[in-house]
Amino acid sequence: MIPAGEQEKIEQARRIVQSAAYLVAFTGAGISTPSGIPDFRSKGTGLWERYDPMEVASLTTFRTAPARFWDWKRTLMRQVWQSQPNPAHYALAKLESQARLKAVITQNIDGLHQRAGSQTVLELHGTIETMTCPSCRRQAPSSQYRALIESGDEMPRCKTCGAVMKPDVVLFEESLPPRTWRAAEKHCASADVILVVGSSLEVWPAATLPEFAVSNGARLIIANLSPTFLDGRAEVLLPYNVAETLPLLAGL
């Protein structure tokens, strides 16, 4: 719920968004929590309270203990496949259709932005929508393995060579995709407004992008439930449910 008396903040943010010449959105796990996908750091529900990230989400674990990796990953993939975009995702797609939003830069791997209709989505941490064989490099849609992943504990294997498939996500110990990173930097350099949605800005180097945009003169709006290191540089802070606030900014 947006507290009574906070409507002026919403209106101020809406004016900034609607007057932007080059609006860029930077999104994190918090935009997808209203869709039922848990984030990583929220107290009581965050994935990292139940798992040690270096034990389940690292390249080393995938290579040396793939069954342990897949015990974790299949749970997340099942949750994503059962989820739908929420009003925050649709609001960003609407802003893009209005020719205001130039790009969504996301830390998320769930594909919900695209399912909501967003066209220009830069996935800094990859996607679960495809998988690649680390042995023969065969790539395949994850949907080919959906029934296997949803029905049991078997690991998906390459249909060509039999090796365990790896989702096309960036794991700990892996670098971000260079082409995607360069495109994100270019958008942030051009932005006159940067809208941070559902990110605690604690994951590096991704979190440097909004700071880069602000240092290049962009106005900053942060829609996130918890504080971030950039709060002091934001023009508007919206610590409310993003599924309620973003549609208001998009005029929905």
- Catalytic, 187? Answer no
Of 192, 227, 194, nearest to 208 by C-alpha is 194
Q: How far apart are CA 249 and CA 9, in angstroms?
A: 11
| Region class of 251: left (phi > 0), else alpha (psi between -120 and 50), else beta | left
Nearest one of 179, 238, 229, 235 to 203, comparing CA atoms: 229
Q: How far is it, in rounded angstroms, from Cα 55 to Cα 84?
A: 29
Which amino acid, one-letter code, is at 163? A
Backbone angles phi, psi at 150, to 5 degrees: -75, -25
Amino acid at 38: P
**Other residues' Cβ atoms within 10 Å of the Cβ of residue 218:** 24
Spatial distance between the Cα atoms of 167 and 162, rounded to a whole number of angstroms? 15
| C-beta atoms surrounding 137 within 10 Å | 10
Task: Give one DSSP letter per residue of 130-162, joined into a string.
Answer: EEE-TTT--EEEGGGGHHHHHHSSPPPB-TTT-
SS3 state of residue 61 = helix
Q: Choosing from 89, 113, 125, 187, which is the catalytic residue?
A: 125
Report whether 68 contacts 55 (CB < 8 A): yes
Catalytic residue list: 125
